């Protein structure tokens, strides 16, 4: 008998707590900034040229995990982890083809790389889309590099 009363009460409470009025939902939507507004309000950052990168052996697993999170948030829309091109080139084998400093510089300061680096210019010709500045810090770019290394099979 108690179960017959508890179950409907739980459903009623759930419905009551989950529902908002249409006006409340509209007001919340009007007052919340869109993702593009949030990005527009964020100052654009550019890295300085990186000349050395110290690689870890074995891989720093905390950096790999953080790098995957950054990839999921900022890179996944344009880059696959295979060699297949999406918008930008696939990442498979990138750490075997490119120096770590090149990768970090391409992530943190794409404008400088497209201006000065022949390989970056070739990628732009192939992909036909300029890589946007994702405001990735050098520390975060290093974590992305660690994730790339793991993707390429390093231990």
Domain annotation covers residue 55:
no
**Structure confidence at residue 150 (pLDDT):** 97
Within a domain: 19? yes
Residue 51 included in any domain: no
Q: What is the rounded distance in angstroms from the CA atom of residue 149 to the CA atom of residue 96? A: 9
Based on the domain organization, do 76 and 30 belong to the same domain?
A: no
Residue 87 placed within a domain: yes
Domain that holds residue 18: 2-40
Q: How many domains in the chain? A: 2
Output the pLDDT for position 114. 92
Q: Do 74 and 142 sit in the same domain of this protein?
A: yes
Residues 137 and 78 in one domain: yes
**Which stretches of the chain drop beneath a pLDDT of 50?**
none
pTM for this entry = 0.70
Q: Let me know if residue 45 belongs to a domain.
A: no
pLDDT at residue 149, as a whole number: 97
Same domain assignment for residues 65 and 138: yes
Predicted pLDDT of residue 20: 52
């Amino acid at each position: 008998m108690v179960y017959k009363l508890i179950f409907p009460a739980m459903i009623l409470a759930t419905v009551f707590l989950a529902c908002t009025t249409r006006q409340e939902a509209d007001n919340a939507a009007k007052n919340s900034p869109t993702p593009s507004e949030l990005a527009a309000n964020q100052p654009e950052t550019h890295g300085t040229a990186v000349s050395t990168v110290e690689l870890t052996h074995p891989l720093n697993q905390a950096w790999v995990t953080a790098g995957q999170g950054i990839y999921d948030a900022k890179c996944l829309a344009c880059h696959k982890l295979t060699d297949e091109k999406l918008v930008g080139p696939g990442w498979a084998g990138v750490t075997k083809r490119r120096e770590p400093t090149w990768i970090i510089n391409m992530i943190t300061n794409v404008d400088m790389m497209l201006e000065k680096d022949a390989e970056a210019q070739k990628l732009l010709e192939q992909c036909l889309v300029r890589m946007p500045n994702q405001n990735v810090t050098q520390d975060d770019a290093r974590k992305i590099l660690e994730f790339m290394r793991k993707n390429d099979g390093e231990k």
